[in-house]
Structure formats: C-alpha cells, structure tokens
Structure 1
C-alpha cells in the first residue's frame, strides 16, 4: 500500500509516523519549502518521500490512498484529481475514528469547543476509565491510537474542516454547542457549514444539543440517537466565570458526565477542582480574554450575521483564538 499525505504539519507528521509503522510507503507533499517546516520535518520518518515547495498531479503516481491535512480544502484540485482517478481520499481524523477502539465523544460548534472539550475530559476523568483528549485541541490522537482500548474514553474537539473529511463519523456522544456563520470563505454557504456540524450527531448514540441556540435546536430532527438538551441539565454545575457561554460549556461537560453514568457529586467535584485552578491562574477577578461567543447576551448580532450569510451579503468574520491549534472551527 502506498499513501500520499498532503500537508507536512502536525497532522501530516502523525499520519506519516502511523502509516510507516503499518508498513506502508508514504509520500508527503507541501506547498511550503523545507525552510518553513523544519520543526515538523525533524519528526518525519526517514523513509518518507518528501516533496516540498509545491506539487501537482504527478504526486499521485503510484498512490493507493490520499490523506489530506485539515488545512487542505476538501475540494482542492489535487484531491479532486485523486477522486477522478478512483483514489480514495481520507484524513487523519477519519483514519483515527475508523481504527479507534475507545468510546468517542465528539464536540463541535462555532465557539467554546476547546473549553468544553477540556472540561469534558476533566469530568470523565472523575470516573474509573482512562481518558484521552485530542482532535483540534492540543496534540494529534492518531499517534496514540494503538494505546487506546475499549475501556478508554476519547474526547475529541472537531472543527468543521475535520468533519468535512469524515462523511459518517460514528460517535457515542456528539455535542453541538452553537452555530453562527464562520469559514464561509471555505464552505461557501451557511447551509454547508451547518450540514458539516450536523455530521457530529447524525450517527451518534447520543446527540447532546444546546436548545438555546435556534440553529442547533433545528438539528435535533437529524439525530439518529437519543437527543439530550444540555442547556436543561440539572443541577447547574459550578462556574465562577461570568457569561452564559461559560455556563453552557460547563453544562455540556456535565451532561456528558451524566451520560457516562457519573454521579452529580463526582461531576461537581471534578469541575470545582478544575475551575478553581483556572481561576487562580487568571487572577482574583477570574478574567479571561476570549473570542465573542454565541452565548453572549447580544443576540441581535447573531441574527444580523445569519441574515447576511443566508442572503449572501459579505463574508462572515473568522474567529481566531484559543479554539484552534490549526486555526480551525
């Protein structure tokens, strides 16, 4: 088997390491020159065929499968050429979900994914099963797939770019926090963006949704599993930070804990310990600089952005901040 990896950043390194360990021949291409990729190239297996500084369709010669990094547009010329040749196109997260033996919780939304993913990992760690947290947050998870057993919880932050590369992700719990127009330069329409987010729940055993978000509420009919409205979760979890969006993040994490069979005391204890530690690092006021989120009080701003997106006026603003290690939403 011969594989082409498009993109030589962290996702590409994880793919190259995993595939070569499986005995596959691996070619890695990237438009950036080697000088701009030194930190990741040092981690590449020595057997990899590197083609840097640009590529064309000749990169597909002798290739059986193509793996695209999240930053590579899913409709890029090279990927479309591969499809036209009958070559399967996949991704790091797609390969991980196909090979992962653990119980997977996938968390998506326009804002709050990183915070909620981290809090969910903390909550599940209060139980007696090992927990691995990854995806769009922190390190890649493919390089840890061999250590994951059926006894593991795996909590993944999933961006729209990642969900685009997994047509039917099978998750135990799919969480959608909120949806506002984003990345329309890549996804073109707000409906396409919504459809990609919906993939997190369409085949999930549990669809954990925010009933306060009208767009998310409308997605409930697309869930194949049990729908749980995390905004209705009781008792309210501890949340020292102001803002409804912060409470919604904690509610989602607590609701996952409930699905996992944890007691309310265990959930509360885990969140208290984590949030008190976070608050002490922020200072006495607990202030944290975060991007504007859908849970903020100014709902009129959301409505204006949706009207503009649905009517095709302007481009939605892209948020940059804590919710990405690759700038993905």
Structure 2
C-alpha cells in the first residue's frame, strides 16, 4: 500500500465542508490519524465536529504555510486552490497534495466510469447511472454530482461499479484515477478566475485519463481528445454520421434516414438505436449527452452488458435534470426554459444552439451574474443567428454587453424578475424565453439551484397573472 498506512504519517485535511468531512470519516474508519483545518474562524456545529473527531487537532483561520509544511500529506478540498500561497509553500517543502478522489482511487477495487467536461457532466453521469441500474448492475453515482466518493466507498459491498462526475478542481489533486473508461465531454472556457490560462484548465480536465483502460471522445471537440497510444480502446460520439461502415466503426452519431428532418435516429456505427423525436430531453447538446452516455456504457467489460430493451426503456423515460435546459411552461405559444445551471459561456452556447430554429430569431435570452473573468465573444455568432433579444442583469451585465452589443439587441435590468418581465413583453407566439445566465449566481443568489427555483416561481407568478399556466 501507499504511505497512507504509515503509522507516523502526518495528514492534514484542508477544508471542512462536505468533502473534507467525508475524507475525515473515511480515514477514521480505516484507523488512520489526521488533523483538520478550515479558513473560517469558526464552523457551524464546530463543537459537534470536534467531538466526532476527538483525536484530531482543528485549526481555524488563514492558512499558515509553516504549519502546513509540518504535514507529509495535505488532503485539499476542491473548493481550495492548490495555488494558495500556504499550500504552494508546503509543497515546496515536500508535502504531498491530494484530494478525496485520489484516496478513493487508491482503495476502490471495482470499475470506475470517470466523466468530466465543461458542460453536461451531471446529465451524462445520471443517465449512465440510470442505464446501468435498470440493467441490474448496481452503480454508485457519485462525485461532483453531490455525493462524495468516499461516502459511497464506505458502502462498497452495495455496488458493482462507480459512475463518478469529476470537476477540474477535483482532478487537480487526483494523480492516478485508473478508470475503466474515461471521458472529457467538451472543453470551453470556465473558471478563469481560478486558472491562469485555458491550457491549465484543459490540463486539469485531462487528468481524468491517467491510467485509464479505455476512452470516449467527442469527435467534434479536439480539446477532448487525449494523446494516447493507438492501442487504447476508443469510442467516439458526435452529431454527424459517417457514410460507410469503415468510417463509422466505434462511432455513436445521429443520422437522418429520409428526407423528413424529423426522422432522425441515434446510431451506433450503422445501426439504429432510438428515434431522436422520442427523447424527452431537448436540444442538440442533450442529444450529444445521450450519445456520450451510451458510448461510456458500451465501453465497459462484458459483465456490464445492457440489453437493447433496457436501453430503449431508459432513453424513452429519461427527462433530464432540474435547471439544465428544463422546460418550465408554455403560454400563448411562448415557451419558457430554465437553464440556471448554465454557469459558463459554453453551457449557454449549447443551450442556444440546442433550442435554435434554423434561420429564425426565436430566442429571447436572459443572462447575467458573476462572469468569472470569461470571454463572452463566443456567444456572439449564436446570438446573431438565433437570438431576438438578450436581457442582461446582475453584476457583470455591462461586461457581457461589451462582447455582444454588435450581435444582438440588448436590454438591461437590475433583477431577474425585471429581466423576465422585459423578455415576456418582447416575446410573441413561437418564441422561446431561455434563462441561461452564462455566469455564476452568487451576486444575487446562494447558488444556481436557488436561482433556478426563483426563475420557475417567477414564471408561474407571471403566467398566473395572465391566467392559468
């Protein structure tokens, strides 16, 4: 085993949120010693935490590099950047930095499906889990999706495999995941307030491939494709289908089987799998998510086989996740979509392109919040092609406008409620009001979930004033 088992090995868990406490409980269950620290002066329920981990010291307040350097191992929560000066100092003194996923990878003995990307991670992770569960394969769905990996690993006997959503923050401190199959769904600019370049963000994402046994890549996004041996088993997904059997080998795609544009099918190689029109989740980006999920399941060993009947049943019933391009209501021919999880430019771009009506400007976009030092220029072409008006609100509305003003009609408001009212006034039958902020929420909301809930309630209130939804 590794140095985790050394009795005199000093470990410090940095960050006592959900992930940090998960690490503490796992290490305690393994009989391993550790101390804890958090940058907050005092934690909620600190007395209870101190009682639960009575053998550990707890340090509160600003991180102290000289203190951290006394520990051979720093277990850093994903919300804390390893570039923090105190952590960087300790690393220079020889401290090893790792995270909960790295510890998980050391102990797990069952197959891991590792999923990352700028957008779509939770949707793909959930769908892979639902397919495997319906086939009786007992997956644990965990990671960045909300359930810490070490919490589920403590109940390892209950599962046959692990479907793990991974953020770039988690991957920074993961050194050898060794997934059965790994995938970067897509890469677009995000978290530029944490990374000094797109290259460093891209490199963090690609850590998911370390030690993996097979890969799934997005044919339409070269940034998802790792430099690997040609012997590495690989499947790919993308919207376009190859026109011959040789080119279509190991490819998941979408093909139109007649002149009727509604006659599209999800395909593997040149075999039809499922009609696109019968998917409950809407938009081209979600069709890509479904293709990726199928490719990941298909890349697993033979004992995880899924029958066509089970796959068809799950694809036909999967309705997606809340706050991710979710249909909210329709009134007077106007549809309302909640994409509050669209916290970056790539996600909002996917939502616009996914809901666009070819050759028509039918979308009214509501966007704004905390821009995270992003470049909003990539939205310009899609807005010019498909967006009738963009209503901007929140802290960085003017910054967004700087990049979009030449491409789309703009309106400004202070609040989300005002933005929805403006959009509704502008909309007419056949239009889509799309709430996809392209920004973080914390200027006005606790998180994207609360923001999405507020939007849906505002829609309900607005439409109830005009008659029942």
Q: What range describes the TM-score normalised by the shorter chain of this pair?
A: 0.7 to 0.9
Match of 2:103 among 91, 95, 102: 95
Superposed counterparts of 1:280-299, under 5 Å: 288-290=337-339, 291=342, 292-293=347-348, 295-296=350-351, 298=353
Aligned to 2:44: 38
Distance in 2 (alpha carbons) for counterparts of 1:26 and 1:138:
24
Per-residue CA deviations over 1:126-147 (Å, capped at 9, x if unaligned) read 2232110111011212123133
Q: Cα distance 1:277–1:193, how it changes in 2: closer, same or farther (>3 A)? A: closer
Contact 2:329–2:337, Cα closer than 8 Å, also in 1: no
Q: Cα distance 1:257–1:277, how it changes in 2: closer, same or farther (>3 A)? A: same
Contact 1:5–1:16, Cα closer than 8 Å, also in 2: yes
Match of 2:286 among 223, 246, 251: 246
Distance in 1 (alpha carbons) for counterparts of 2:125 and 2:321:
17
Gaps of 5+ in 1: 307-313, 323-329
Aligned: 1:263 with 2:307: yes
Distance in 1 (alpha carbons) for counterparts of 2:89 and 2:136:
47
Per-residue CA deviations over 1:107-133 (Å, capped at 9, x if unaligned) read 111111111111111011122321101
Superposed counterparts of 1:114-153, under 5 Å: 114-149=122-157, 152-153=160-161
Query: Helix, strand or coil: the match of 1:295?
Result: helix
Gaps of 5+ in 2: 1-8, 239-250, 253-266, 268-272, 355-373, 380-398, 404-437, 442-447, 450-469
Superposed counterparts of 1:147-296, under 5 Å: 147-149=155-157, 152-216=160-224, 219-222=225-228, 225-231=232-238, 232-233=251-252, 234=267, 235-236=273-274, 238-260=278-300, 261-275=305-319, 288-290=337-339, 291=342, 292-293=347-348, 295-296=350-351
Q: Cα distance 1:72–1:283, how it changes in 2: closer, same or farther (>3 A)? A: closer
Match of 2:64 among 45, 49, 56: 56
Aligned: 1:109 with 2:149: no
Moved more, 141-150 or 10-19: 141-150
Say which structure is richer in helix.
1
Q: CA deviation at 1:58?
A: 4.1
Aligned: 1:75 with 2:124: no
Contact 2:327–2:338, Cα closer than 8 Å, also in 1: no
Contact 2:140–2:163, Cα closer than 8 Å, also in 1: yes
Query: Helix, strand or coil: the match of 1:194?
Result: helix
What is the TM-score with the length of structure 2 in the denominator? Answer: 0.59
What is the TM-score with the length of structure 1 in the denominator? Answer: 0.82
Per-residue CA deviations over 1:279-311 (Å, capped at 9, x if unaligned) read 9x9667696512134534559x999449xxxxx
Distance in 1 (alpha carbons) for counterparts of 2:88 and 2:148:
26
Q: CA deviation at 1:191?
A: 1.2
What is the number of equivalent residue pairs in this alignment?
Answer: 310
Distance in 2 (alpha carbons) for counterparts of 1:267 and 1:252:
13
Query: Helix, strand or coil: the match of 1:275?
Result: coil
Say which structure is richer in strand.
2
Distance in 1 (alpha carbons) for counterparts of 2:160 and 2:169:
25
Aligned to 1:309: none
Contact 2:102–2:176, Cα closer than 8 Å, also in 1: no
Distance in 1 (alpha carbons) for counterparts of 2:216 and 2:12:
36
Distance in 1 (alpha carbons) for counterparts of 2:201 and 2:157:
33
Query: Helix, strand or coil: the match of 1:74?
Result: coil
Decide which structure has the larger Cα Rg and report it. 2
Which of the pair has the greater relative contact order for Cα pairs under 8 Å at 6+ separation? 1
